[in-house]
Amino acid sequence: MPRITFLPSGTAIDVEPGTSILEAATKAGVALDHACGGACACSTCHVIVAQGYDSLPDATDEEEDQLDEAVGLTPHSRLGCQARVRADVTVEIPRHSRNLVSEGHG
């Protein structure tokens, strides 16, 4: 099964192929914001794929459009709710998102 590792915590979880990064984060207990509930209508689930980017299916036009709104966009950025894993990946939760999460719950 693909293994997803989340940075900066280093938390890892094995998931079925086709699981979204957001679903995996939720299962692993990693805080990843998802304001629209995974409907590809926000950019708060933005993650940066540190390893395994090329193993992910290509982003749809809808995902690309939402990603343009993401803070700290990088060439290896994806939306966590849209990117579904097929092989091992390592993803970084952007600092901005981490701040939002901690403010929202703290």
Residues interacting with ligand FES, by CB under 6 A?
34-36, 38-42, 44-45, 66, 79, 81
Q: How far is the CB of 12 from ligand FES (least distance, A)?
A: 21
Q: How far is the CB of 84 from ligand FES (least distance, A)?
A: 12
Q: Which is nearer to ligand FES, 52 or 80 (CB)?
A: 80
Q: Please compute, for residue 19, the number of CA atoms within 13 A of its CA located in the half-sphere on the CB side.
A: 20
The minimum distance between CB 13 and ligand FES, in angstroms, equals 18
Q: Which residue in 91, 98, 95 sits closest to 76, CA to CA?
A: 91
